[in-house]
Amino acid sequence: MPAIKDVTLSELQDLMRSLQLPADTRMTVMLEENQIVQKAWKRQKALEAMRKLKGSGNGHLVTALLAEREKDASS
């Protein structure tokens, strides 16, 4: 399996634009800043879950949670 090491995000973006890969191609990406990535991933998952709950009758709670998350993300 071919591997690419020590590539920046901008280099990876350029590579992805130039490749003609099938839509179902799977990749594994390992990042050095693991804690930052995990925190962002958890935040994204929480936001997705709250957006799904938004139409479930708990609108005021979800709206407050979303506002709090967006405030946390901007600071």
- pLDDT digit string, tens, across residues 7-63: 888 888 888 888 888 888 888 877 777 777 788 888 888 777 777 776 666 657 777
Whole-number Å distance between alpha carbons of 52 and 25? 28
Distance CA 30, CA 8 (A): 12
For 4-16, the pLDDT digits (tens) are 777 888 888 888 8
Count of residues making up the chain: 75
pLDDT value at residue 55: 67
What is the predicted pLDDT for the residue at 58? 64
Q: What is the pLDDT of residue 75?
A: 65
**pTM assigned to the model:** 0.37
Q: What's the token pair of residue 30?
A: 């390992």
